[in-house]
Structure 1
Amino acid sequence: MSQSAPVIGLTTYREQAAWGVWDQRADLLPAAYAGAVESVGGVPLLLPPVAAPGAAATVVARLDGLVVSGGADVDPGRYGADAHPRTAGWRPDRDAWELALLDAADAAGLPVLGVCRGMQLMVVHAGGTLDQHTPDLVGHDEHSPGGDAFGTTQVATEPGSRLATLVGDKVTVSCHHHQSVREAPGFRAVARAADGTLEAIEDPTDRFCVAVQWHPETAADVGLLAGLLEAAAAYSAR
């Protein structure tokens, strides 16, 4: 790996976790994220929630790219909604940290990739809204079959989009979400599932700011991560 390899920040969970003889609060992230970044030539850096004022700007100044990772539901109060009965477990510390990171990333023009919850949080950050239980709309649970299993979804991308250049016109993806995006102001809708669920958005300008409802870190196709690394290398060079 080159000494100039782009450094990619990965936001993390903060959860009760057990390993070895320990069972305590821990900052963690599935290793597939770091492995995917490393596989395309990047250096992964885990970013646990930090409450200190100015911390997000300090971190962003040291990054070449940012991945807003998957995880728990976004607090519906962040987009002015009451909680659906199936919306639970949101993490105020993580919401606040990742929103601050997005503020700093926007100010710096940092390349950003949102994954699953990350896409939803990016939409909320932009003033958009979510549908809190997608099965209510589409009549099935294929986007999140339950437990620790991923659903398989066929996605069609928008011709001419940045996303299409990275993953092709059609792609089969792994997903695990019961919520989805209703409105994404400022973003271009660039992929949908057959049932109409919005599966990806991107910044309409030249900046790499892309978000997908699926989990690209789990797939053999690393087109999205490769695209992020290319944008991060160009950002670093500037």
Structure 2
Amino acid sequence: MFGNFHPLALLQGPHGIELWAGLRLTLFATLAAWLIAYGVGILLAAIRSLPSKTADRGVAAYVAYHRNVPLLVQVLYWYFGVVTLLPNSIQQWTNDHGGGFYAGVVALGLCMAAYVSEDLRSGMRTVPHGHIEASRAIGLTFAQTMAYVVLPQALRAALPALVNNSLLLFKNTSLLMAIGVAELTYAARQIEGQTFKTFEVFTIATVIYLSISLVIMATGHLLEQRYRTQRR
């Protein structure tokens, strides 16, 4: 049954180049979306900690939207909807420079920012109120208190959840194939259509996704062990 099964042969020649290019794009999309997710997520968590009901409700609405609308719908909305609202010159530039990639990365990053903000918000609740009062007593501003006192402790407390979200973000990059982004899943699907070696192609894709996922999980475990040791 498996006599002609040579999946590694697909890693050579033009198909191998296509797979590696897809993997590189997947990793780049993961990194770009991760930076957006954590940058926006930290900002949202900080805004929600302000003594303002308006700010709290605004962030709550943002989180509710991104947590309840399917991510694929959000990706399609950005690509087919939001991008069309941009000036024609910008639309033309994005179309000439892989506009689907940018729309997909933004959609993915903004969606995951909602989850990051909620994780950080939970982590902030573990920070003793006395630490905040002490920081304000020595003259730190709200921004300095968040940056030097609250967020470092919140990040440590929320680390397991943040690692899980980073893993989810990496896996969700496969949704970008719906808008023509040639990431790993898209590349695998293209090669499968050319060679009809469905089992071999998706075995390779599965192994690659699994390997990177295990690396992310192992890195998260090492970080958890490190910070747990420091707390002791």
Asked if these proteins are the same fold (TM beyond 0.5), I'd say: no
The higher relative CO (CA closer than 8 Å, separation ≥ 6) is in: 2
Greater share of residues in helix:
2
TM, length-normalised to structure 1: 0.28
Larger Rg: 2
TM, length-normalised to structure 2: 0.28
